[in-house]
Amino acid sequence: MGEFTSTIESRLDQAYKGLEEARSSGDAFLADALTAEIEDLRRLADDHGIPIQR
């Protein structure tokens, strides 16, 4: 696995964890921002042929 792939996976992991916390605490703005980040990272992964587990 390359560093680019590891970075994408790590950032996705952090974003999903942050999204859970934002939703739990009722922070809708942060949840929206993290959802957008997740969508961007997933699109980037797809563009580069990186399979995403979630």
pLDDT at 43: 97
Tens digits of residue pLDDT in 1-54: 699 999 999 999 999 999 999 999 999 999 999 999 999 999 999 999 999 887
**What are the pLDDT digits (tens) for 9-24?**
999 999 999 999 999 9
Helix (H/G/I), strand (E/B), else coil: 4: helix
The reported pTM is 0.90
Q: Are 18 and 34 in contact (CB under 8 A)?
A: yes
- The pLDDT of residue 54: 73
Contacts of 41 (CB under 8 A, 6+ apart): 8, 11, 12, 15
